[in-house]
Amino acid sequence: MVTIKGNIQQVRARISRACEAAQRPVQSVTLLCVSKTFGADAVREAHAAGERRFGENYVQEALDKIAALGDLRASLEWHLIGPLQSNKTRAVAEQFDWVHSVDRLKIAQRLSEQRPGSLPPLQVCLQVNISGEASKSGLAPGEVPAVAKAVAALPRLKLRGLMAIPEPEGDLAAQRVPHRALRELLGQLRAEGLDLDTLSMGMSADLEAAILEGATLVRIGSAIFGARAIARARAPGS
């Protein structure tokens, strides 16, 4: 029988094989379990199997889940990986530990202003439109250095690195191209003096390519929780 626990073991085995191939220590890659569209029970099951970090795309769905899992809050880390609009920043600043999808300085400024002083700084990544499609969210690579410097200076945020969602590609060599570009962009920012340690890249279909190119955090949904049945209908502003 396919279980969340069994799927996690398989994903962890893929990560360790990829780390071996890349000659990287397995601890250099963090697993983020992407629980969007799955219920609190699925998160509970993954938590029971030892997982602590969960990624969500839709703010309202995530807030409901965070509330339903309030008893586990101290041992969970919640990461927002989906688009964030200004009218949702307060709830996110108050409830999440990480935001990977910062793509405008204005959103970062609001998150910093709204992050409660009782919590540690919100950990953030800038989302980069690395494959360059007009329709996708994320900063153009050329915009990243200036925005990164401004975000790094905000008091209640800690800029950790970069995130991307490359276009799906069939083979490993093609998958590596955008991941390599994101790694090189991170290297450029570090050379310019920014203290960054996170490359959030790699999903169920391309985690090997991402790890070969230096991913430090892979965001895995369907390989752990199963196929998402339908593209979720989204309420306006969610």
Ligand X SMILES: *Cc1c(COP(=O)(O)O)cnc(C)c1O
Q: Which residues bind ligand X (CB under 6 A)?
A: 34, 36, 57, 81-82, 165, 203-205, 219-223
Q: Nearest approach, Cβ of 217 to ligand X (angstroms)?
A: 10
Q: Which is nearer to ligand X, 74 or 233 (CB)?
A: 233
Residue nearest ligand X, Cβ-based: 221
Strand positions, DSSP E, 25-114:
30-34, 53-56, 77-80, 98-102
Radius of gyration (C-alpha) of the chain in whole angstroms: 17
Specify whether the CB–CB gap between 62 and 80 falls below 8 A: yes
Q: Which is nearer to ligand X, 156 or 203 (CB)?
A: 203
Q: Which is nearer to ligand X, 190 or 228 (CB)?
A: 228
Q: Nearest approach, Cβ of 143 to ligand X (angstroms)?
A: 19
Q: Which is nearer to ligand X, 7 or 204 (CB)?
A: 204
Q: Nearest approach, Cβ of 57 to ligand X (angstroms)?
A: 5
Contacts of 135 (CB under 8 A, 6+ apart): none
H and E: helices and strands count for the chain: 9, 8
How far, CA to CA in Å, does 73 sit from each of 43, 54, 70?
12, 11, 5
Q: Nearest approach, Cβ of 205 to ligand X (angstroms)?
A: 6
Q: Nearest approach, Cβ of 129 to ligand X (angstroms)?
A: 13
In terms of C-beta density within 10 A (0-12 exposed, 13-18 middle, 19 or more buried), how is residue 61 classed?
buried
Q: Which is nearer to ligand X, 108 or 164 (CB)?
A: 164
